[in-house]
Amino acid sequence: MKINSISSFEAKLEDIASDKSISHRLAIFSLLTQGTCKIKNYLKAQDTLHTLAIIQALGAEVSMDEEFVYIRAPQYIKSPNCILDCGNSGTAMRLLIGILSAIEGEFFILSGDEYLNARPMKRVSEPLKHIGAKIFGRDEANLAPIAIQGAKLEGFNFTSNITSAQVKSALILAALFAKKESYFKEIELSRNHSEIILNKMGACIEYLNQEKTSIKIQPLKTKLKAFEVCVPNDPSSAFYFALAACILPHSRVVLKNVLLNKTRIEAFKILKKMGAKITYYLDNDEFESIGEICVESAPLKAVSVNENIAWLIDEIPALAIAFACASGKSVIKNAKELRVKESDRIKSIVLNLQKCGINAKEFEDGFEVEGGEAKCAKIKSYGDHRIAMSFLILGLKCNMEVDDCECIKTSFPNFIEILKQIGAKVGD
């Protein structure tokens, strides 16, 4: 796909992709409820539609109209007569491993596309096997396809050496079915949507310290309450257009109805440190903090980032574009998790920036970028939606050609439409 540069833009964007993390979770958590759940603004992208198909295969009744997705959970989760296809979604696969491993006597097989089936699952399967889960797969249940024979699980006291909301959520879901209370601890706070949502549904998940890195999970005594929720817009998706406003002089964008959870807006804070003018306006905090973000262009300066990496892991490819347009040398460290995302994002970022004439150096746990004048290049996306979108945004400044942009539909189906809305010329 080719994109031509534009000089500047001003826009108010309301139709940003709704939040992927929350959409996946609401669909999966609905399996634990009694009654009909109503989800407004559910993300209708490839990955989240795969998740709806999976819960339907597990016995849920799923329907939708223009406004809502309706889900009525089955009385019991039963073995499906098909493989459960998670598409490209690590969130779906890891959370489903957690919940399905605890469904006694039932059998499940999870698989995905070629990229997902190369991503590590042992971080979830190994602690679950220690408490009685029966999980099988390639490389000792590290690689999908993953087969699960549901079993009664023990309570656990587990400390994770990976700061991962997916690991935490999988363990929480398993703990809801365990014989007794369980304890989970992580090095630093990861995204906390699962705890927030499940507690509002009636689960008992208690924070044990001020940092909220240690939790206690009580097993469910009854089914959870059905819910009606409106999914906010995804800050990870909104960030691409914040980036565009920052790198194009005299540009301004207002991003509406965006999730403002502190574990999800760290990348915006990094942009502000680099010199961007960013203002937040809170509209609603009944379910999660939701509001608008106003971003105005300003000259960017280099920055070093080595903290709260788990809060901005999805935005790092886009941040790398900001680094390439900033004055000075920027560094990302402590981000080894980038190696096991939809692509090896450290390698993907560095190789593509080098193609654009930007000095970039790869580290084992991050990279270094020296800001400069980016040139038009042919970019390889590696089937990774975030690499593809990040370099299309750079194309707004210097023209670009990016291969395999079909992957963008996994998370942001109308991304190209919004690019056109702000004045970009995009085509094959």
Comparing CA positions, the residue from 296, 306, 248, 289 lying closest to residue 271 is 296
Residues 6+ apart with CB under 8 A from 45: 17, 20, 409, 410, 411, 412, 413
90 annotated as a binding-site residue: yes
297 annotated as a binding-site residue: no
Distance CA 130, CA 26 (A): 27
252 annotated as a binding-site residue: no
Q: Which of 314, 365, 384, 403 is catalytic?
A: 314
Amino acid at the residue 244? A
20 annotated as a binding-site residue: yes
Q: Give the pair of three-digit tokens for residue 279.
A: 């203002």
In angstroms and rounded to an integer, the radius of gyration of the C-alpha atoms of the chain is 21
| Residue pair 231/42 in contact by the 8 Å Cβ criterion | yes
Distance CA 163, CA 188 (A): 6
Largest CA distance in the chain: 61
Number of Cβ atoms within 10 Å of the Cβ of 207:
15
| Residue pair 320/338 in contact by the 8 Å Cβ criterion | no
Distance CA 173, CA 168 (A): 9
Per-position DSSP letters for 14-47, written without gaps between them: --PPBPHHHHHHHHHHGGGEESEEEEET---SHH
Residues 6+ apart with CB under 8 A from 269: none
Specify the DSSP element, H or E, that contains 288: none
164 annotated as a binding-site residue: yes
386 annotated as a binding-site residue: yes
21 annotated as a binding-site residue: yes
123 annotated as a binding-site residue: no
Q: Give the pair of three-digit tokens for residue 35.
A: 């009654």
Strands (E), 214-276: 214-217, 224-225, 228-230, 252-259
Strands (E), 118-260: 134-137, 143-149, 157-160, 182-186, 205-207, 214-217, 224-225, 228-230, 252-259
Judge whether 314 counts as a catalytic residue.
yes
125 annotated as a binding-site residue: no
Query: Which residue numbers are catalytic?
Result: 314
Binding site listing for phosphoenolpyruvate: 20, 90, 119, 166, 345, 386
Binding site listing for 3-phosphoshikimate: 20-21, 25, 164, 166, 314, 341
Binding site listing: 20-21, 25, 90, 119, 164, 166, 314, 341, 345, 386
